[in-house]
Amino acid sequence: MKIDPKTFIQDYLLNICIQCGTCTGGCPVKFRSPLNMRRLVRQTYITNDPSPLFKSPELWACTTCSNCSLRCPAGVKNVELIMAIRNLLANQGEVPSTIRDALENTFLQGNPWGRFRDRRADWAKELGVKILGEAASETLLYVGCAPSYDPRVQNVSTALVKIFQKADLDFGILGKKESCCGNEIRRMGEQALFKKLTKDNTNLFKKSGIKRIITISPHCYNTFKNEYPDLTIPVQHYTQVIADLMETGKLKLSKALDLRTTYQDPCFLGKQNLVFDEPRKILTFIPGLEFVEMERSRQRSLCCEGGGGRMWAEGGTEGTRNGEIRVKEAVALGAKVMATACPFCLLTLEDAVKISGLTSEIVIKDISELVAEAIDENPITKFQAPNNHQ
């Protein structure tokens, strides 16, 4: 099928590219795949039919971290270009099989892993959490797919429930009525399914009578905040909520965590939505915790490679994972804990710790887990700082 490049040039401003290469220079997968953003923009611009270009498998290596478009001095919409190409491929059915399964699963069960919809809120069963519809609340804790189903990330959901309950914050969850936010779905190219999810979710939120939404994942936060056209309910990431609870004295931490800790800025929270300070405020608020900053932090934070559908992609990249590089940077700082505030960062970095054989040096924790730990003497997680002398 021949594709007219004109729409791409107009929609993603390919004609204003000055070929400076800043995009490729900042790309977190440039050493991991043949993806070259500068070249892709140029080639799409000068060709009469970009369809052969769009067959390159490296188009699926992009993590949509958005370094390229955020740093572009001219304003080329690089990430939107990637998503548009993927949309074209998805509509032709030309997506890698694992991405195909993730999309089909979301269509059927409302989550990319294809886990049973009715089991979405099983993690919360014993926690005394309100289910909106059965009980009323003005605050929705939108859990998200990974925190609902992934056993590791469920620990984050449980920690947040404990924190909010401790701070007497009235909130509810949607239970099994909750569906995928669609952030990753849009980035895997399924625009029509994304639109359906935005419509269904917006209607569900409105019907539930909620006044604010708190998300666990920065990915959900990003799409609700920036990509839901009819959603007028304010959205917060949980780090913003906890930072506020601490500043207003509603959440007090009594237990000291004597841990040298650093922080990985998730791309969808940090560079894309500029939430840099709240996670740091929380960490420095924890008694005993010694916060150390990595050299590459905030806007310069290195992507963990979990975004853009990469959680469901197989292969397509080679060499050392960014997660491994990141974990080694943290260990070099003498950090015993690397904290983050994103389910995907948590999973990719934890994998990296295992792959690098650094399990006795460092642990990966979500900020919420550290806060829950510092609340009292009865920790919900069996937390143990790594001990080099084991």
Q: Which residues form the interface with other proteins (CB under 8 A)?
A: 90-95, 97, 99-100, 103-104, 107-109, 114-119, 190-193, 196
CA-to-CA separations, 191 to 64, 96, 141, 183, in angstroms, rounded: 15, 17, 25, 10
Between 120 and 271, CB nearer to other proteins: 120
Pairing label, strands 172-173, 235-237: unpaired
Measured at the CA of 182, the angle between CA 55 and CA 364, to 5 degrees, comes to 95
Closest distance between other proteins and the C-beta of residue 95, in Å? 5
Q: Which two tokens stand for residue 344?
A: 């995907």
Between 58 and 101, CB nearer to other proteins: 101
Between 117 and 152, CB nearer to other proteins: 117
- Residue 88 neighbours by CB under 8 Å, 6+ apart: 3, 54, 189
Closest distance between other proteins and the C-beta of residue 90, in Å? 5
* 45: helix, strand or coil: helix
Between 98 and 297, CB nearer to other proteins: 98
Q: Identity (one letter) of the amino acid at 250? A: K
Give the gyration radius of the chain's Cα atoms: 21
Question: Which among 100, 117, 175, 106 has a CA at the least distance from the CA of 142?
Answer: 175
DSSP 303: P
Closest distance between other proteins and the C-beta of residue 241, in Å? 32
Between 48 and 390, CB nearer to other proteins: 390
The per-residue DSSP string of 64-130 comes to: ---HHHHH-SS---HHHHHHHHHHHHHHTT-S-HHHHHHHHHHHHHSSTT---GGGTTGGGTTTTPE
Between 97 and 232, CB nearer to other proteins: 97
Closest distance between other proteins and the C-beta of residue 310, in Å? 17
Between 105 and 236, CB nearer to other proteins: 105
Closest distance between other proteins and the C-beta of residue 247, in Å? 42
CA-to-CA separations, 286 to 193, 242, 252, 340, in angstroms, rounded: 41, 12, 9, 15
Between 119 and 252, CB nearer to other proteins: 119
Between 103 and 337, CB nearer to other proteins: 103
Closest distance between other proteins and the C-beta of residue 385, in Å? 19
Between 93 and 151, CB nearer to other proteins: 93
Whose tokens are 């590089």? That residue is 325
Maximum distance among all Cα pairs of the chain, rounded to whole angstroms: 66
Closest distance between other proteins and the C-beta of residue 13, in Å? 25
Residue 46, class by beta-carbon neighbours within 10 Å (0-12 exposed, 13-18 middle, 19+ buried)?
A: exposed
Measured at the CA of 45, the angle between CA 41 and CA 48, to 5 degrees, comes to 135
The per-residue DSSP string of 239-291 comes to: HHHHHHHHHTTSS---S----EEEEPPPTTTTTTT---HHHHHHHHHSTT-EE
Sheet containing 260-263, strands listed edge to edge, beginning at the edge strand earlier in sequence: 290-291, 260-263, 337-340, 363-366
Closest distance between other proteins and the C-beta of residue 93, in Å? 3
Closest distance between other proteins and the C-beta of residue 192, in Å? 4
Closest distance between other proteins and the C-beta of residue 66, in Å? 24
